[in-house]
Structure 1
Amino acid sequence: MAEDAQKNIGTWYIDPDAEDRMADGHAPIWRHLIGLILERDLTDKSVLDFGCNQGGLLRHLYAIRPFRKALGIDIAETSIAKAETLKGNLPIQHQVGGRLEGWAEEFDLAISHEVIYLVPDIDSHASEIWRALKPGGVYYAVTGCHTDNPLWPKWRELVANRTNTVVQDRSITDYGRAFEKAGFDVSARKLEYDGFIPFVADGWTPDFADALNYYTQTKIVFRLVKR
């Protein structure tokens, strides 16, 4: 990402209270995602959460599969401050920003959840993650916000109106090509969330059938291995 392409912000959502609601809603999805990660023993591994927001995913990961150390990075300054207060004594460092200078071949595992669709330059992002991973390191990048999502025309307007971000339009294939070009072996699967999905009439999926389809069919998990 170019230095001037993704500025630091206060919070992702214009409504700051939405940050806490988002974390609560994502918690069961995070636990399901952790169950999909093929790397089972992380006790001697270093982990990166790109776009960590308030740090909830790393805290969930540590509770289920403890790691040696982790970095959570995000452009949202207020969110990073809250992540620091919530981490307690966990071996997690947080950093404000969207660049990974100084972290060459540092991480065994990288994760991002609903972040890559907001990255201005996906090619630069893929290259930065590749450089930050150790040889053989793995990046799990999760998103349902892509142009193959039938809800995307409506959602891109909601994202633009509700958040302090700039929306990008990319297909699943666009992501696959970008990560392959960066030097990853690319594979993917549907998230296929298998838990009960709550009905939330918040404007994102007022049609409950859309919510069920989104979490089981539309949301994609990329597994990207550094060659």
Structure 2
Amino acid sequence: MQRPSPAYGTIHTWNRNPADEEAMGAAHAPIWRRMIDVAIHGSLHNSAVLDYGCNQGGFLRMLYDRHPFRSAIGIDIARESVARAELLKGHRPIDYKVGHSAAALGSPFDFAFSHEVLYLLPDLAAHAADMKAALRPGGAYIAAMGCHKDSAVWSRWRKLISESSSIPIYDHSLDSVAKAFSEAGFTVGVRPLDLDAFMPVTVGSDYFPKVVDQLRYYSQDKVLFRFVRTP
């Protein structure tokens, strides 16, 4: 049976295994910190922020605790994940919503972020157009991507992720991502994530059979795109 894609429906959670879904935030925390360190170099007090594919909301909570912003919206197609994010947000000025269209939120954002979302989208051009409509001129979209055809681990990871994901995955290249956003009216920049932290080593990991696989992935394969909307 075909599972729903982000463009056509909603799901309960991203991961079929509830324990893996709950563990995702802690596993991603070092990556989120790196994204924030690389992308934010000033005050966000007057900024509106979007997290596209927010899952249980951990990224925006971390961002607010480090760089308080005026407002933020996290959007995701996973209903139970969004409900969990709402429960966990506390006093922070964040709204979490179920959906897939950033433009439909009706607010011009100063910054947008996504972490490992692009490979789950069937139509990169449509996503680029949606993000352009959601961002103010000069607004920046930071997208982390390690799941792509140019990654040395993708041939193995594709099978592993397909077995646990609630939706289909797609074989995008870094060039196809850059092309879609350039043609939509963004200036495109890219850099290695180059994680500035220790990552836990799990002996016998299906994703990283060797420690060197993990080192290469975080220093070479996983990248940060920066898409800046032109006027």
TM range (shorter): over 0.9
The answer on whether the counterparts of 2:103 and 2:131 sit within 8 Å (CA) in structure 1 is no
**1:185-226 Cα distance to aligned partner (Å, 9 max, x none):** 001100000211211243111222111111111111011100
Structure 1 residues 104 and 204, CA, compared in 2 at 3 Å: closer, same or farther?
Answer: same
Aligned counterpart, 2:224: 221
Indicate yes or no: 2:108 matched with 1:111: no
> Normalising to structure 1: TM-score of the pair?
0.95
Structure 1 residues 217 and 178, CA, compared in 2 at 3 Å: closer, same or farther?
Answer: same
Q: Secondary structure of the equivalent of 2:45?
A: coil
Cα distance, 1:176 vs structure 2: 0.3
Q: Secondary structure of the equivalent of 1:169?
A: coil
Q: Which amino acid aligns with 1:221?
A: L
2:61 to 59, 62, 65: 59
**1:131-155 Cα distance to aligned partner (Å, 9 max, x none):** 0001110000111011000111111
**1:74-104 Cα distance to aligned partner (Å, 9 max, x none):** 0111100100000011100011111134335
Q: Which amino acid aligns with 2:223?
A: I
The answer on whether the counterparts of 1:104 and 1:133 sit within 8 Å (CA) in structure 2 is no
Q: Paired residues, what number?
A: 226
Aligned counterpart, 2:152: 150
Select between 199-208 and 52-61 the one with higher mean Cα deviation.
Answer: 199-208
Aligned counterpart, 1:137: 139
Aligned counterpart, 2:19: 17
Distance in 2, Cα, partners of 1:107 & 1:48:
7
Q: Which amino acid aligns with 1:110?
A: A
Runs of 4+ off more than 6 Å: none
Q: Secondary structure of the equivalent of 2:226?
A: strand
Structural RMSD (CA): 1.6
Aligned counterpart, 1:204: 207
The answer on whether the counterparts of 2:188 and 2:225 sit within 8 Å (CA) in structure 1 is yes
> Normalising to structure 2: TM-score of the pair?
0.94
The answer on whether the counterparts of 1:104 and 1:131 sit within 8 Å (CA) in structure 2 is no
Cα distance, 1:31 vs structure 2: 0.8
**1:113-148 Cα distance to aligned partner (Å, 9 max, x none):** 111110111110010000000111000011101100
Select between 70-79 and 192-201 the one with higher mean Cα deviation.
Answer: 192-201
Cα distance, 1:4 vs structure 2: 8.0
Structure 2, gaps ≥5 residues long:
none
Same amino acid, percent of matched pairs: 44
Distance in 1, Cα, partners of 2:112 & 2:41:
11
